[in-house]
Amino acid sequence: MATLNSKIPEGPLAEKWKNFNAHQNLVNPANKRKLDIIVVGTGLAGAAAAASLGELGFIVKNFCIQDSPRRAHSIAAQGGINAAKNYPNDGDSVYRLFYDTVKGGDYRAREANVYRLAEVSNSIIDQCVAQGVPFAREYGGLLDNRSFGGALVSRTFYARGQTGQQLLLGAYGALSKEVHKGSVKMYTRREMLDLVIVDGRARGIITRNTVTGEIERHSAHTVVIATGGYGNVFFLSTNAMNSNGSSAWQCYKKGAAFANPCFVQIHPTCIPVHGDFQSKLTLMSESLRNDGRIWVPKNKEDARKIQKGELKPTEIAEENRDYYLERRYPAFGNLVPRDVASRAAKERCDAGHGVGNTGLAVYLDFKDAINRLGRDVIEARYGNLFQMYEKIVDDNPYETPMMIYPAIHYTMGGIWVDYELETTIPGLFAGGEANFSDHGANRLGASALMQGLADGYFVLPYTVQNYLADQINVPRFSTDLPEFEEAEKAVKDKLDKLINNKGSKSVDSFHKRLGHIMWDNVGMARNKEGLEKAIKEIKALREEYWKDVDVPGSLEGVNVELEKAVRVADFLELGELMARDALHRKESSGGHFREEYQTPEGEALRNDKDFMYVAAWEYNGDGEPILNKEPLNYEDIEVKTRNYKEAKS
Amino acid sequence: MDLTLKIWRQAGPTVKGKFEQYSISGISTDSSFLEMMDVLNEELIGKGEEPVAFDHDCREGICGMCSLYINGRPHGPDGGITTCQLHMRKFKDGETITIEPWRAKPFPVIKDLIIDRSALDAIIQSGGYISVNTGGVPDANAIPIAREDAELAMDAAACIGCGACVAACKNASAMLFVSAKVSQFALLPQGKTEAKDRVRTMVAKMDELGFGNCTNTYACEVECPKEIKVTNIARMNRHFLGAKVSG
Amino acid sequence: MGNKRFQSSLTKKFVMAFMGLFLITFLFVHLGINLLVLLPDKDYFNLAAHFMSTNPVIKVFEVVLFGGFIIHIIYGLILQIQNWMARPDRYKIEGWSHKSPFSKFMIHTAAIIFIFLAIHLGDFYFRAKFGAIGDVLINGEHYHDMAALVMAKFLSLGYVVGYILAFVILGFHLHHGFQSAFQSIGLNSKTYTPFINGLSTIISIILSLGFIVIPLVIYFGS
């Protein structure tokens, strides 16, 4: 059983990171040139880490699956990035940002990490402005802030609805600068297929060049994984099509503990599924809930007629509409947190009140807001979102209510890391969404970007250096070592098996079936029976997959189906671990809702006595994974229950 | 809806490509263009044929990965969107749709509809950034920036690097792409320090890579999914001229 | 391989733009003198023609003008060839998006204008310089009777039609060229660009129509 040493530095909470920096080991400039670092992923965490480590003088190899580092899915984040700048003078502070994040995460995050996150948040904004990120500004020329869910202050910096894009392009610029300088070498269109461990330390990776099909070996003194989340295990999610959990999964299978896999965030305002051919779900900004009212028909008969297209929503009289969020949560109404709003929508649709041709949608109605504020005001606030909706759905949201439904959005779980972001494999680090991170059981809006950049710019450059300090006498690794040979062979065998399987069903057909199992049983609301069923069904599906999957084409050259086949094979294992984790966690917290553990009013019921820990799963070959627990101690924060019925939670 | 698709198939970078014709039926008008391609590929796999390779990723119009030259237009017959945001209701039942890769000398075909756009990265790597290292930067509010300048910089920064401007340009010129980055930084005080060098090196790299010259046709502006304006090109011309004159 | 060896693409565009604008000013001078031929008293035209071919300042400008033409042509050709090279494999369905339609045909209109220019120089310029032209007596002095030459040429229907076509084409060339030059030298702003675009249309029509009027009046007036 692995020992989980979180390596939290000594001292009071506010002094921990300073203490670490003051006492950490450093590498002198001449020696940095002798040390190689592999960074997998070019999103906010990966690009920022690769650029910053390159600036320090290390030799960095940076890998991404797309044709350019600028395409990583961080680019799609819309809302903004939090920081405790307190520019609006509304009482924000590092402590308050820390507190909100821990509370928003339902007390399942590590206190010291979250405090550090809040601490470095301000430097992120400074850094991005210096890079030329065009944040929104006020007329006086100073930076503008907006408010976001789960906070009482305005601390969110934004660049229109494209904050993720602008921050990523900032990091991409920094990365490009280092590529120009020669300190970072880019490897695009490369997929990491295995981690190589030499004498117990992470020393390299095996990749597939997706253009030539070549299997390549890369060695380094240390490996950083920043490959994002695994939301695509559900097939349909707001993640990009190529987002996958494979890199993280390879690390898990090589011995890195995987923490809290069941903590998945579901975003309540996405465009509903409209058919079997659908490939992806589109997020509509959460800000729509500020003015839109969510409802479903009160009578099932009306809902049925709407599903059949016999009735229009505008024909439903006011008294026959059920504004269920306003009914259930009078204080917060339509502005309850993401997890609460998502579950409530599912509950109504399961009860037969859903709309749309699938019955899996609820209305988000702007009629009252338009009557109250005028169409112009609504257009100024949401014009681009309404336009996007109309392009996709071909419905005018100014006239008929929008249809929305929850969708998988973000995974709080991930590779377990200690305070230094090092995994249970020495020399293997994980940053951004790929690690189990600082969000606990639920992430607040505008915090994903903050965490990615905090890890990349301000944590990994320090902690990776601390690790490398005693490696200066270790010469560069030859990729001819037997460990590399072995890893490459395993990868090639796996690919051979897939391509020669010659089954009868496509990769996507399996992925879709897995998605259905996951969504039905490991989705918004889970229970013992469903989770046990899911574990069984995933196992069976996995067996069928290896017997009957059809991967056309060859190992050489571009083969998109082969790329997908590898990822789906991993999802078929990862999905089971998620179900196991959800089954073992006999409580409801944040994004994890167990139907057996709720209050009489249907609210999440946490069990702090038995489950205030991080569940870090350890791979055990064909046997059942081993559960390791990292207890969470809250010394600087009072643990409370979230409450959204009354005015203050 | 039923459609006839004429799709460019090319096995590899050095192999000669040709158009193949496919019939596809029962496509929902609500499906996106790429979902239609997914359906086609599932059918091809079912028949034991090789699926059509095309680039795509976020499918929400921001990553810049999708391309496709559809009936003579990059990102197809709708304005202000990428191919992944194009929906089948923009086509007529029974229509023949011709799908080609983006063609330009600096964008060689990798396979079928996948092209290599690393030339755009090479241009950015030549100087499309502000040379600040992590840490040691001034407070974010130390330099006020006029709201109008910040907005104009954001307009230019909205570029997703898809290369539709190059694909649309009769000269395969990358001027809109390059000028968007040059403009973003030229408009911000942080970017002014290196402004002269930046415009010179980026233009030199663009020329070196074999992109064509701008003839002010403005097809790029018409086809840009983020509706980036050619005033950015004028701004770059102005700054380039300034850099030349002042040495 | 690109065009690194020989100036940057932007520098070439500046040169094209400046030369283009310079040539437009010449066209206005040329048009002004040509219109004199429509006056009943042909002496004005002949005297102006004489002034243009003998005045030392004009002679210097003549060299500059020829230089301007040659640079405009050579640079235009280089840019065009590079543009063709930038897309070796053409699209099956060519795109049709634009905001300045004639920009797509600059090389084609240029070729026609160039052919016209060659014929035109042979017919008038070189004949005036080296050829045999009838004399006319003005205020007791002998001058070339250029007016008679012009009048004679424009009695041929074929010549008139060719001449008109050439100037319609020139109009298209200028319609794009004038406003495009401002973009190339970096002048594009909400405040004045609509004015420049309007001016571009007006200039192309004035120059085109101005030249076309002359053969029409002569042909139908005779």
State pLDDT tens for residues A460-474. Answer: 999 999 999 999 999
In a domain, C92, yes or no: no
Give the span between the Cα atoms of B62 and B226, in whole angstroms. Answer: 9
Q: How far is B213 from chain A (nearest CA, A)?
A: 24
Contact B3, B40 (CB under 8 A): no
Structure-token match 């396979």, residue found:
B111
pLDDT exceeding 90 applies to what percent of chain C? Answer: 78
| Model pLDDT for residues A431-458, shown as the tens digit of each residue | 999 999 799 999 988 899 999 999 999 9
Q: What is the pLDDT of residue A6?
A: 96
| Yes or no, beta carbons of A558 and B42 under 8 Å apart | no
DSSP letter assigned to residue C121: I
Whole-number average pLDDT of chain A: 94
* Residue A402 shares a structural domain with residue A491: no
| Yes or no, beta carbons of A241 and B57 under 8 Å apart | yes
* Residue A379 shares a structural domain with residue A511: no
CATH superfamily for B3-111 is: Beta-grasp domain (3.10.20.30)
> Residue A531 sits in a domain of what CATH number?
1.20.58.100
pLDDT(A149) > 80: no
CATH architecture of residue range(s) B117-131+140-246: Orthogonal Bundle (1.10)
Contacts of C109 in chain B (CB under 8 A): none
Q: Pick the residue from chain B with its C-alpha nearest to C79.
A: B213
> Residue C64 sits in a domain of what CATH number?
1.20.1300.10
| Model pLDDT for residues C183-196, shown as the tens digit of each residue | 999 999 999 999 99
Contact B214, B240 (CB under 8 A): no
Contacts of C12 in chain B (CB under 8 A): 213
Range of the domain at C168: 9-85+101-221
How many domains does one find in chain A?
A: 2
| Yes or no, beta carbons of C188 and B231 under 8 Å apart | yes
pLDDT(A518) > 90: yes
In a domain, C94, yes or no: no
Contacts of B231 in chain C (CB under 8 A): 188-190
CA B17 to chain centroid, in Å, comes to 22
| Yes or no, beta carbons of B105 and C83 under 8 Å apart | no
The enclosing H or E element of A409 equals: strand A402-411
Taking any CB pair shorter than 8 Å as contact, residues of chain C touching chain B are 1-4, 8-14, 79, 82-83, 85-100, 103-104, 106, 176, 179-180, 183-190
Structure-token match 């069984």, residue found:
A536
- Min mean pLDDT across A145-159, A591-605, B154-168 is at A145-159
| Yes or no, beta carbons of B63 and A87 under 8 Å apart | no
Q: What is the pLDDT of residue A333?
A: 87
- Helical residues (DSSP H) of B89-218, grouped into ranges: 118-125, 147-157, 164-168, 175-186, 189-192, 195-208
Q: Which long-range contacts (CB under 8 A, 24 or more apart) does C208-212 make?
A: C208/C167, C208/C168, C208/C170, C208/C171, C208/C174, C209/C171, C210/C31, C210/C34, C210/C35, C211/C31, C211/C34, C211/C163, C211/C167, C211/C170, C212/C163, C212/C164, C212/C167, C212/C168
| Model pLDDT for residues A375-422, shown as the tens digit of each residue | 998 887 788 889 889 988 899 999 999 999 999 999 999 999 999 999
> Which of A338, A443, A567, A606 is flagged as catalytic?
A338
Mean pLDDT of A318-341: 88
Q: What is the pLDDT of residue A463?
A: 98
Contact B132, A126 (CB under 8 A): no
Q: How far is B116 from chain A (nearest CA, A)?
A: 7
Q: Where residue C2 falls among pLDDT bands split at 50, 70, 90?
A: very low
Interface test with C, best of B21, B75, B216, B240 (most C CBs within 10 A): B216
At least 3 CB pairs under 8 A between chains B and A: yes
Give the span between the Cα atoms of B73 and B68, in whole angstroms. Answer: 8
Contact A198, A460 (CB under 8 A): no
pLDDT(A428) > 80: yes
In a domain, A361, yes or no: yes
End-to-end CA distance of chain B: 61
Interface test with B, best of A75, A178, A388 (most B CBs within 10 A): A75
In a domain, A362, yes or no: yes
In a domain, A41, yes or no: no
Contacts of B117 in chain A (CB under 8 A): 67-68
Q: Smallest Cα–Cα separation from B168: which of B62, B91, B72? A: B72
The enclosing H or E element of A154 equals: strand A154-157
Mean pLDDT of C33-47: 93
Tokens of A537: 């069904």
| Yes or no, beta carbons of A558 and B185 under 8 Å apart | no
Contacts of B127 in chain A (CB under 8 A): 180
Mean pLDDT of C43-54: 91
CA distances from B219 to A200, B165, C97, C103 (A): 57, 7, 5, 10
Mean pLDDT of A574-596: 97
User: Which sequence spans correspond to the domains of chain B?
Assistant: 3-111, 117-131+140-246
| Yes or no, beta carbons of A134 and B184 under 8 Å apart | yes
| Yes or no, beta carbons of B58 and A241 under 8 Å apart | yes
In a domain, C14, yes or no: yes
Helix pair A507-521, A560-584: axis angle to 10 deg: 20
Q: How far is B42 from chain C (nearest CA, A)?
A: 26
A450 CB burial (10 A radius; 0-12, 13-18, 19+): buried
Q: Smallest Cα–Cα separation from A174: which of A49, A58, A77? A: A49
Other residues' Cβ atoms within 10 Å of the Cβ of residue C34: 17
Contacts of C100 in chain B (CB under 8 A): 216-218
Q: What is the pLDDT of residue B22?
A: 98
Q: What is the pLDDT of residue A332?
A: 80
> Residue A272 sits in a domain of what CATH number?
3.90.700.10
More confident residue, B63 or A279: B63
| Yes or no, beta carbons of B207 and C1 under 8 Å apart | no
Range of the domain at A556: 482-612
Contacts of A180 in chain B (CB under 8 A): 125-127
Tokens of B190: 């942080």
pLDDT(C45) > 60: yes
Q: What is the pLDDT of residue A1?
A: 56
Q: Where residue A649 falls among pLDDT bands split at 50, 70, 90?
A: very low
Mean pLDDT of A226-233: 98
pLDDT(C125) > 90: no
Backbone φ, ψ for residue A109 (5° rounding)? -115, 160
Give the span between the Cα atoms of A440 and A109, in whole angstroms. Answer: 4
CA distances from A547 to A17, A96, A418 (A): 51, 53, 39
Tokens of A237: 């999610």
Of B210, B219, B234, the CB nearest to C98: B219
Q: What is the pLDDT of residue A418?
A: 97
Give the span between the Cα atoms of B154 and A170, in whole angstroms. Answer: 12
pLDDT exceeding 90 applies to what percent of chain A? Answer: 85
Q: How far is C191 from chain B (nearest CA, A)?
A: 12
End-to-end CA distance of chain C: 59
Mean pLDDT of A267-288: 88
Residue that is last in its domain, among A408, A430, A464: A408
Contacts of C9 in chain B (CB under 8 A): 203, 206-207, 213-214
The enclosing H or E element of C32 equals: helix C9-35
| Yes or no, beta carbons of A166 and B157 under 8 Å apart | yes
| Model pLDDT for residues B5-40, shown as the tens digit of each residue | 999 999 999 999 999 999 999 999 999 999 999 999
Neighbouring subunits of A (3+ Cβ pairs under 8 A): B
Give the span between the Cα atoms of A193 and A567, in whole angstroms. Answer: 9
* Residue A391 shares a structural domain with residue A495: no
Q: What is the pLDDT of residue B107?
A: 98
Mean pLDDT of A14-27: 96
In a domain, A445, yes or no: no
pLDDT(C4) > 50: no
Tokens of B114: 């996948």
- Whether A585 sits among the annotated catalytic residues: the reply is no
In a domain, C121, yes or no: yes
| Yes or no, beta carbons of B57 and A457 under 8 Å apart | no
The size of the A-B interface in CB pairs under 8 A is 219
In a domain, A370, yes or no: yes
- Helical residues (DSSP H) of A309-439, grouped into ranges: 324-328, 338-350, 367-373, 375-393
Whole-number average pLDDT of chain B: 96
In a domain, A322, yes or no: yes
The size of the B-C interface in CB pairs under 8 A is 148
Contact C52, C146 (CB under 8 A): no
CA distances from C40 to C37, C133, C218 (A): 8, 21, 11
| Yes or no, beta carbons of C87 and B69 under 8 Å apart | no
Q: Where residue A79 falls among pLDDT bands split at 50, 70, 90?
A: confident
In a domain, A351, yes or no: yes
Q: What is the pLDDT of residue A2?
A: 64
Q: Smallest Cα–Cα separation from B184: which of B221, B216, B218, B159? A: B159
- Min mean pLDDT across A329-343, A351-365, B160-174 is at A329-343
Of C1, C79, C88, the CB nearest to B213: C79
How many domains does one find in chain C?
A: 1
Contacts of C96 in chain B (CB under 8 A): 72
In a domain, C1, yes or no: no
Give the 3-state secondary structure percentages of chain C, helix then strand then coil, rounded to 5: 75, 5, 20
